[in-house]
Amino acid sequence: LVRLAELCEGPLSDGDRARQVWNDLLEIDPTHLGALGALEKIHERAKNWQELISVLRQRESVLDNESECRELSRHIGEIYERNLKDIDSAIAAYDEVLARFGDDRETLGALSRIYESGERWADLLEVILSELQLVSEGPARTELRFRAAELMRTRTEDVEGAVDRYAELLEDSPGHAGALASLQTLRDGDQ
């Protein structure tokens, strides 16, 4: 069956028949990674997104490498987000990645992008705070702290929380221009 599928894909240029043969092989051996990989490529080329998601889920269930499983699960979220424009399913897929494998910056970044474009400020703040837990020091931590403070000040109307965040940021980066300017804006607004 493998040889027949490869012939259908290659010299015979019969993608539909190749897909059928790979599916026949999976009926015999649902764990056949070669068949799953081939079907993944076929569905990706054909932009058969729902079928691709099914293949990715099946492939992920066969693998025992956590890193690969995380990547496949995240890819499902990306398909929902970018190709199907199904934001609710994308959020659910990314949330599943976090629930199964723990927080990671790439998945949190994807959720951050979705929440920001959807103006879901409370959810965005929660994601930024989760990401902040993953970054121990340096410019990335400073930027996340500033972003959280700005979000609290401008979107969630938690001015007191924003002031606390700015103070934490300024302890590590005393001359942070953005934090100083935002605190100045808050002070000027009180007068």
pLDDT: which is higher, 13 or 134: 134
Which of 118, 64, 67, 141 minimizes the C-alpha distance to 97? 67
With a cut of 60, say whether residue 25 has pLDDT above it. Answer: yes
pLDDT in tens, 75-132: 999 999 999 999 999 999 999 999 999 999 999 999 999 999 999 999 999 999 999 9
Cα–Cα dist 60/101, whole Å: 13
Segment 9-36 shows an average pLDDT of 88
User: Rounded distance, CA 125 to CA 173, Å?
Assistant: 21
pTM across the whole model? 0.86
- Of 1-10, 98-107, 149-158, minimum mean pLDDT range: 1-10
Identify the band that residue 191 occupies on the pLDDT scale cut at 50, 70 and 90: very low
User: Which CB contacts under 8 angstroms, 24+ apart, belong to 20-29?
Assistant: 25/1, 26/58, 28/1
HSE at residue 149, side-chain half, CA atoms within 13 A, is 24
